[in-house]
Amino acid sequence: MSQILDMLVVGGGINGVGIARDAAGRGLSVQLIEKGDLACATSSVSSKLIHGGLRYLEHGAFRLVHEALAEREVLLASAPHIIWPLRFVLPHDRGLRSRALLRFGLFIYDHLGDRRTLPGTETVKLRNHPYGLPLQSRLTTGFVYSDCWVQDARLVVLNARDAAAHGARITTRTEMRSAQRVNNSWRIIVEQSGEAKEIMARILVNAAGPWVVDILHRAGIAHSKAEIRLIKGSHIVVPRLYDGAQAYILQNDDRRVIFVLPYEEKFSLIGTTDIPYAGDHEHLAIDPIEVEYLCRAVSRWFKKPVVPQDVVWSYAGVRPLYDDKESDAESVTRDYVLDLNARDGTASLLSVFGGKITTYRRLAEHAMEKLAPSLPGLKGPWTASATLPGGDLPDHNAPAFAEGLARDYPFLEAAAALRLTRNYGTDARRILGTARRAEDLGRGFGYGFSERELDWLVKEEWARTSEDVLWRRSKLGLHLGRDAVAAISGHLAVSKEN
């Protein structure tokens, strides 16, 4: 009989890797299986914000907003390379939410969470402030507040790396087929490269996001107390709409809000939509009607209208939300529910319903609290003060680290040094190693991306295909041409053979 693990986690999105990391760091034997690539589903198609969620205040979601606001500072300190502060400009316009309401909401937002380093709200006169430059001239007042940006898929990969550093086994391209209780454990059948394998584990964690109910069925559980509601959300990417590092949060006439975010230097990211979804969530794409909706929503605020022809890339995902029976898609809670199915405290099955990227670390702590009764002697929480791989930047200062990198590796252009820092933090030095010339890094694919970096992604970050490399481990897909993509695919094919 195979060795019995303490925990098998199904799902390599943010919640699965977060739980695997927390559990492994407490000394449990853990394996995580992911049927595709890490972050191949919801966790790479978000708006990429570590945020309290200003608009959730209108729905009275104070617990969620409080937890999320406090997490901004915790996550910022743990991964200052891939997470950074962002100032949001919220212009006021007649006929929408009143100034008093916006001021009141932002006052709560400033004071509800444990805000230490992020600057608070200020009011600006848009007509004579750079933030007003791209906006239409009728707009006179804007409120400016803080939240954070995160490279969502990289957050997933770094959690997986840290889980592995604490002893967890991470197996991608491995699908859970079925699970059944045998004595006091789970017997799980997985499929890897077309082969069926058996894994035994005392605890099964179902962190399959939109597939959470499918996993319950595969484990022979027909009904769960909690249910899921799938809400589609899409984003468009257009050439950069303005200079400056600020983001905009724009109210729409349907009372929803749309974000316009600085993206990958040359672009602006615009999202999102909120559409109840019942179709196939394996192959999602934005609908033309969503593109039009987003263009229209932004064009009522910006001087230069955004039109569908401007769109250079788009992506879509479904939010796997806990169904609180709210009637409209936008009001469904963004909070999470952990459902424990346990028989006499043994062979527990913990399922994750809902949750945001922002709250993944606290969700993992709550998951461990729920499971603690079946884990005598379990160690206490540890992730609040731990850094993620590469996150040990001196003074949390990524630009200063990038300058040092460019000094020590003079062949690197400043932009390439910053890109490496923003992706790998202090691990950038491990990747560059003793290189003295660009040629020492092997073949260059363009945009400062080298064979050495590609090999790191394969060896250290579970990348297997060009899509893993270009759209999840990085967003180089936006910057590299067809020839570079073909060369990367060719290199990956050779790596696979060796």
| Residues binding ligand FAD (CB under 6 A) | 10-16, 33-36, 40-43, 45-49, 175-176, 207-211, 215, 233, 272, 317-320, 352, 355-358
13/425 with CB nearer ligand FAD: 13
Q: How far is the CB of 58 from ligand FAD (least distance, A)?
A: 17
Structure-token pair, residue 197 = 């394998």
The residue assigned the tokens 């020839």 is 483
Check: CB of residue 24 under 8 Å from CB of residue 163. Answer: yes
CA dihedral 199, 190, 26, 50 (to 10 degrees): -170
Q: Are strands 4-10 and 195-206 parallel, antiparallel or unpaired?
A: parallel
Q: Which is nearer to ligand FAD, 336 or 445 (CB)?
A: 336
H or E segment and range at residue 133: none
Total Cβ atoms within 10 A of residue 199:
23
Q: Closest CB to ligand FAD among 290 and 427?
A: 290
Nearer Cβ to ligand FAD, position 370 or 452? 370
Residue 369 corresponds to which tokens in the numbers above? 């609290």
Nearer to ligand FAD, 127 or 217 (CB): 217
* Least distance from ligand FAD to the Cβ atom of residue 186, Å: 14
CB closer to ligand FAD, 80 vs 355: 355
Least distance CB 344 / ligand FAD (angstroms): 26
Please give the Cα distance from 201 to 95 (Å, whole number).
57
Nearest distance in Å: CB 50, ligand FAD: 6
Q: What is the largest CA-CA distance in the chain?
A: 73
* Minimum separation from the CB atom of position 248 to ligand FAD (A): 15
Question: Quick one: which H or E segment has residue 455?
Answer: helix 451-461
Q: Cβ 353 to ligand FAD, closest distance in Å?
A: 9
Between 147 and 453, CB nearer to ligand FAD: 147
Taking residue 342's Cβ as centre, other Cβ atoms within 10 Å add up to: 15
By beta-carbon distance, which residue lies closest to ligand FAD?
13
Closest CA to 443 of 486, 479, 473, 401: 486
Among candidate residues 51, 147, 131, the one with its CA nearest the CA of residue 91: 131
Minimum CB separation of residue 153 from ligand FAD in Å reads 9
